């Protein structure tokens, strides 16, 4: 197939999917809520700490328009707003118990609709369809030209995120470096400490989300009044190459400066090449190395520091 035909094939698909988009969401349509309202309810239901500005980024909506929709939903008694404790400008959005019932119905209808559609396809067709959808999503998100307003966005942690961090570290390092479950245990210990001693004024965790999936994390913890420690930097393979790792570390540096730490330190291992590059590029210096036998391998641990 020559290049020109490929272009036309893509344009053809664009026209096709534009026509289908209403039909794809039909399950959400036959309800007193518009498609946009349903999308908003879906996001609120799936995040315990979401704010209006998160929604504008995630769904690409105008802030004023969104604000009015949220006010209406609040009047109808499906959501309520709570003043954020870490930032007085923000309002945390949550479903009321009535809202949960409403969402559950919408969600069920959409689920059933897709279920019914899928069940009419053969097993092979189902596999082909899902594989094709994942291929398209993968290729479109990797390519920045198609970003809406950044392919990913950062937020602070909320319940459930810590489990993701542990799971992802365990799975990813096992797969890429062959590390054993001792590593997952170490990560579990770190997040347990973070939760138990969390001090919002001095510590922070960032979660990166892309298309509704969590794709990255990092945290800054209090070591002493002068020293902050960066921990658990992770970028999911599906989000690599987007500058997400750098963005996360920059966020940590800005936070540490703002909170008047004098030094940001971190511990890593020499095999983690991609992470090392980021630290180096952002001005960290390697101050110590030591061999250790951990996670089933011979490793070289490294301590890096950044004067703020």
Partner DNA sequence: ATAAAATATTTGACAAAATCAAATAAATTA
Partner DNA sequence: TAATTTATTTGATTTTGTCAAATATTTTAT
Positions that interact with DNA (CB under 7 A) = 34, 36, 51-54, 56, 61-68, 70-71, 81, 87-91, 254, 258
**Comparison of 48 and 67: residue with beta carbon closer to DNA:** 67
Is residue 81 exposed (0-12), middle (13-18) or buried (19+ Cβ within 10 Å)? middle
Q: Which is nearer to its own copies, 21 or 287 (CB)?
A: 21
User: Given the DSSP bridges, would you call strands 263-269 and 227-235 parallel, antiparallel or unpaired?
Assistant: parallel
| Residue 11 interacting with its own copies (CB under 8 A) | yes
Give least dist CB 74 to DNA, A: 8
Q: Nearest to residue 89, comparing CAs of 63, 60, 58, 61?
A: 63
Could you tell me how many residues of this chain bind its own copies (CB under 8 A)?
A: 58
Report in angstroms how near the CB of residue 118 gets to its own copies at its nearest.
6
Rank residues 132 and 195 by Cβ distance to its own copies and give the closer one: 132
> Residue 126 binds which entry of its own copies, DNA, none, with Cβ cut-offs from 5 to 8 Å by kind?
its own copies
Window 244 to 303, contacts with its own copies (CB under 8 A): none
In angstroms, the CA 230 to CA 218 distance is 7
**115 interacts with its own copies by CB under 8 A:** yes
- Tokens of residue 135, six digits: 């291929």
- Give the DSSP H or E segment for 264: strand 263-269
* Pairwise CA distance, residues 226 & 184, whole Å: 29
Considering only the stretches 87-95, 109-117, 223-231, 262-270, report the one whose residues sit in contact with its own copies under the rule CB under 8 A.
Answer: 109-117
Encoded tokens for 24: 């794809």
Distance in angstroms (rounded) separating the CA atoms of residues 220 and 259: 11
Smallest distance from the beta carbon of 183 to DNA, in angstroms?
A: 33
Beta-bridge partner residues of 129: none
128 binds its own copies (CB under 8 A): yes
CA 110/CA 105 separation, integer angstroms: 9
Q: With CB cut-offs between 5 and 8 Å by kind, which of DNA, its own copies, none does residue 184 bind?
A: none
* Among the listed residues 212, 237, 241, 283, the single contact to its own copies using CB under 8 A: 212
Q: Give the integer Cα–Cα distance in Å for 58 and 292.
A: 43
Alpha helix (H) residue ranges in 81-153: 97-119, 123-142
Nearest distance, CB of residue 306 and DNA, angstroms: 16
Distance CA 182, CA 3 (A): 50
148 binds its own copies (CB under 8 A): yes
Residues lying near its own copies in the complex (CB under 8 A) are found at 1, 3, 6-7, 9-25, 35, 39, 42, 59-60, 110-111, 114-121, 125-137, 139-140, 143, 145-148, 211-212
């Amino acid at each position: 197939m020559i290049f020109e035909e490929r272009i036309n094939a893509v344009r053809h698909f664009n026209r096709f999917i534009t026509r289908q988009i209403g039909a794809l969401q039909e399950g959400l349509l036959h309800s007193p809520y518009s498609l946009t309202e349903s999308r908003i309810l879906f996001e609120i239901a799936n995040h315990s700490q979401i704010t209006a500005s998160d929604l504008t980024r995630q769904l690409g909506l105008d802030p004023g328009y969104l604000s009015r929709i949220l006010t209406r939903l609040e009047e109808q008694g499906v959501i309520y707003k709570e003043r954020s404790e870490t930032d007085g400008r923000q309002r945390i959005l949550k479903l009321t118990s009535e809202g949960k019932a409403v969402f559950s119905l919408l969600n069920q209808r959409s689920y059933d609709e897709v279920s019914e559609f899928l069940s009419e396809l053969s097993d092979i067709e189902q596999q082909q369809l899902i594989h094709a959808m994942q291929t398209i999503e993968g290729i479109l998100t990797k390519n920045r030209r198609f970003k809406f307003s950044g392919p990913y966005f950062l937020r602070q942690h909320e319940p459930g995120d810590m489990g993701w961090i542990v799971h992802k570290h365990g799975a990813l390092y096992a797969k890429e470096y062959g590390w054993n479950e001792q590593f997952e245990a170490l990560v579990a210990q770190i997040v347990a400490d973070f939760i138990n001693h969390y001090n919002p004024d001095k510590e922070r965790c960032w979660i990166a989300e892309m298309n509704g999936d969590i794709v990255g994390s990092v945290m800054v913890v209090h070591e002493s009044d002068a020293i902050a420690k960066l921990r658990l930097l992770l970028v999911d393979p599906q989000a690599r190459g987007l500058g997400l790792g750098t963005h996360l570390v920059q966020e940590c540096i800005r936070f540490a400066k703002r909170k008047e730490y004098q030094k940001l330190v971190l511990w890593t291992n020499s095999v983690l090449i991609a992470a090392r590059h980021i630290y180096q590029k952002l001005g960290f210096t390697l101050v110590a190395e030591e061999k250790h036998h951990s996670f089933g391998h011979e490793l070289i641990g490294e301590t890096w520091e950044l004067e703020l």
